[in-house]
Amino acid sequence: MTVVTGGAAANAVMAVVRVEAPAGVEADVVEAELTRALYTHRKRPMTVELSLADGTGPWPRRGPARYAFVAVLTMSGCSEPERLAARIEKTARKAIRRRFGRPATAEVRTGISGAEAGAYWFSVRGTPHRQF
């Protein structure tokens, strides 16, 4: 998938963003913080589309809240998925730690299988309309 951002073509990459935050932090707050941090990055324009993965939530009741987001990521001038993931992970980790404190962390994984990507796609786009 190729996206045009500001006149330059960029490749869109599907990834899984795992976030560990302090107990009691809601998924909406984490998603908003990640989106704000990635869209307002000073050095390179990035776009991110996040959706909470099905079956993830603030479990267990004690300890850190763990969330998994399905993301469609783009960054102009960066065509390698591993390099894109590393840059976005660094930015996301800094933003999460700045907002929620030191034990909070974020991890970005782009190496997902075709079946996993297909299942995650439904989290982002929903079930396609099927004609019978």
pLDDT single digits (tens) 20-72: 988 888 889 999 999 888 888 777 767 788 888 766 665 666 778 888 888 88
Kindly tell me if the per-residue pLDDT of 7 is higher than 90.
no
The pTM for the full model equals 0.75
Q: Per mean pLDDT, which range of 53-57, 115-119, 124-128 is the poorest?
A: 124-128
How far apart are alpha carbons 61 and 86 in whole angstroms?
30
Helix axes 27-39, 81-100, angle to 10 degrees: 120
Kindly tell me if the per-residue pLDDT of 77 is higher than 80.
no
pLDDT single digits (tens) 97-116: 999 988 889 998 887 777 77
What's the burial of 86, exposed, middle or buried (CB within 10 Å: 0-12/13-18/19+)? middle
Q: Which amino acid is at 109?
A: R
